[in-house]
Structure 1
């Protein structure tokens, strides 16, 4: 199986340790008992700068609120994706149960 990935969360176990990563798209392949993920970007909670993620969330919200109705749909879609990334990064960064 081969599938495309969107912005989302990847949870997995490495031995007895639980890990949580943010993914910003890519591909996943399942072949037999092996899963391969090629991500555009991936971050562990300890790698996320909460201050930067909160600033990105605020910027995305402002772009979405101030975008004129006549603006291209592409601009709104980009702002929505930026907001999704920022919210996901904040959720993972603040979830200390999964720190590596």
Structure 2
């Protein structure tokens, strides 16, 4: 015998107002160049990180470092460069460089 269970469904309103402190920023690509020193060995890295701001970049970089160096007890990191990636290219730089 199957009992029918009556339940009430509730739906959220489709209209949503963002919070006061919320700013709708776009996610950018950031190039981060850094050096990691572990046990007197230096490793140079270049990472592409998708982030909103510097705090988000920092968080993603720490996550990346934890994944790569999880067995190390001490890791020294020197960040050399953090720059937004621009997709605007000047076609004149490539004029005559390629011919099929």
Band of TM-score, shorter chain: under 0.3
The structure where strand makes up a greater share of residues is: 1
Higher helix share goes to which structure? 1
Q: Which has the larger radius of gyration?
A: 2
Report the TM-score when normalising by structure 2.
Answer: 0.24
